[in-house]
Every structure is written in C-alpha cells, then in structure tokens.
Amino acid sequence: MITKIKNAVKSKKETDTQTVLQAFNVRKSFGSRANVQQVLKGIDLRVEKGEFVGIMGASGAGKTTLLNVLATIDRATEGSILISGADISKMKDAQLSAFRRDKLGFIFQDYNLLDTLTVKENILLPVSLGKMKKKVAEAEFRSIADILGITELADKYPYEISGGQKQRTSAARALINQPSMVFADEPTGALDSKAASSLLGTLADVNEKRGVTIMMVTHDPLASSYCSRVVFLKDGNIYSELYKGDKTRQAFFQEILKVQAVLGGDSIDAL
C-alpha cells in the first residue's frame, strides 16, 4: 500500500527569503528508445538562500541523479532548473562548466582530491584560473581553513592525512569560490561515525555562520538530522519533506527515522 504524505509536514515560512534554486518538473531518463528507464519523474523543488537541504531515499530512488542534474553535471531530459536566476537547462556545455566553476561547490563521497597537490593547492584549485586576486584568495583560504580546522595541514599531501581531514579539505575546496550553492554527495559515506559527525557539525556551522546554501545527498538519517530540511525521494518522485524548524536535532532525527520506516515498509510491501 502506498500512502502519499506529500507536503504533509510543510511549514515553510513565506517571508522575504531569496530563492537560490528552483526546479520545475525535472525528468531524467536513461537508455535508448527500446529500453528507457525513467529515473526522475517530474521533480519540483525550491531551495532558499541559507538552507541546508538533505536528500534521502533508498538506493535507486534517484538521489544522486537528482543531485547531478541540479548540479549541472548531468542534463535533465525535461524540465527547467534555475540557479540564482540563471536557467541552466538552456546553457551550452562550455557555459555550464564556467557556471559550475564560478557559482557552485562540490563535496564528493571519496573526496576526489588530486594526489599530486598539497591540501592548500587542492583547496585553491577552483580559483586557479586566476579570476580571484591572489590576496583575496589567500584571505579566503585562511578564513575557511580556520573554520574547518585544517590550517595546520596546508602543506601536507592527501596521502598524509586522515579520511576526515581529506573530507574537510574537499569541503574547503567547495567553499573557496564563495559559491551560491554547495552540492555534497554522500560526504560522510567513507568516514567513521566520529569523523562523520564532526564534519557534519562543521558543515552546519558553515551553513549558519557564512550563510552558505548546501544540498546534501545521504542515506544516513543521522547525517540528514543536521539539515534544516530533508526531502525524501521514492521511485523518482518527491515522497515527502521534513522541516527541522525549532526542533532539537534529536527530535528531528526521530522524525526522519519514522518517514524512513514508512519508506522502507513500502519497499517491503512492494515485494
């Protein structure tokens, strides 16, 4: 039995917040004509400035596909996506590249640091084409490295530091170009629980202090409890949304678990 509780818990404040991302009826299918598989079946989504949005769902629900499409790494088959007012679904590849470089930040599950670069060099990569003045970049690096607690590691190579430190480096790299939005794909997937919560705490901190908008894909309810809103996907559709509001993290975590249990129950029903 499938029960849709879409928009059930919606408590969005209709105030003067600024919209960073808007997606209308986004569809994505893979495969050729003979064997088309629709992964996203018409997603509408709106992210306000300063939000920390978590995206959850079972494997195959389309989390990563949605993130890739929103993050301009992959193209939607249908629908339009606006980031900071710019319609990315109409951009050419070269424009998309430039857009990603200037406006977006990325954190990957397996860090994706360049082995041959030091921590600092890795972090400064997104501004390495020289559009940001060296002085500004240096100051920006200092303040971000300070927040993330990796100032001491600046001259170390990735192989010399721990997984948690690598992910902090990756996060710093995502923030250096002062992006409109940061996309994180399972950032805690490869970390132990202690490193994971430490990183999430820092991300929430950055989100709060610097007002950075973050969208994070995760399958871990604990990770998503750090978010201000969690969107649940099921079979390519938005299944439900939860807002943290003024709840404690613990309470929010319990709520997330409940929705996940329903989602999980569904998949058992379907069998």
- Enumerate binding residues for other proteins (CB under 8 A): 73-74, 93-94, 96-102, 104, 106, 108, 112-118, 120-121, 123-126, 128-130, 134, 137-138, 141, 154-155, 157, 159, 173
CA atoms within 13 A on the CB side of 250: 0
Any bridge partners for residue 46, and if so which?
A: 22
Closer residue to other proteins, CB minimum distance, 153 or 196: 153
Task: Show the tokens assigned to 155.
Answer: 């001259």
Q: Taking the complex as a whole, how short is the minimal distance between the CB of residue 48 and other proteins, in angstroms?
A: 23
- The minimum distance between CB 112 and other proteins, in angstroms, equals 4
In contact, 150 and 172? CB cutoff 8 Å: yes
Nearer to other proteins, 122 or 207 (CB): 122
For 68, other C-beta atoms within 10 Å of its C-beta total 17
8 Å CB contact between 214 and 181 = yes
Left, alpha or beta for 57 (phi > 0: left; psi -120 to 50: alpha)? Answer: left
Nearer to other proteins, 98 or 257 (CB): 98
Closer CB to other proteins, 78 or 121, in the complex? 121
Q: How far is the CB of 185 from other proteins (least distance, A)?
A: 10
Instruction: Give CA angle at 90 (84, 95), nearest 5°.
Output: 75
Nearer to other proteins, 124 or 256 (CB): 124
Smallest distance, other proteins to C-beta of residue 8, A: 35
Least distance to other proteins, CB of residue 229, Å: 25
Sheet holding 213-217, edge to edge: 104-107, 181-185, 213-217, 52-56, 229-234, 237-243
The least distance separating other proteins from the CB of residue 176, rounded to whole angstroms, comes to 10
Tokens of 68: 């890739």
- Residue whose CB is less far from other proteins, 24 or 108: 108
